Amino acid sequence: MALITTGGQLIQDLEKFGAIAAYVPLEGGFEGRYRRRIRASGYT
């Protein structure tokens, strides 16, 4: 779960590939945390 707490690799992948896709189950999950990390890094 280190990815969720730091977001470092997530941001690096976003910059490298230009897009991120995530499977989110119907009951929700950690997608809000991913989105918050991306926004905190300056992406909108």
Within the chain, how many helices (H) and strands (E) appear? Answer: 3, 0
Task: Tell me what pLDDT residue 16 has.
Answer: 92
Task: Tell me what pLDDT residue 1 has.
Answer: 44
pLDDT tens digit sequence for 1-44: 444 556 778 888 888 999 888 776 667 667 777 777 788 888 77
The identity of residue 28, as a single letter, is G
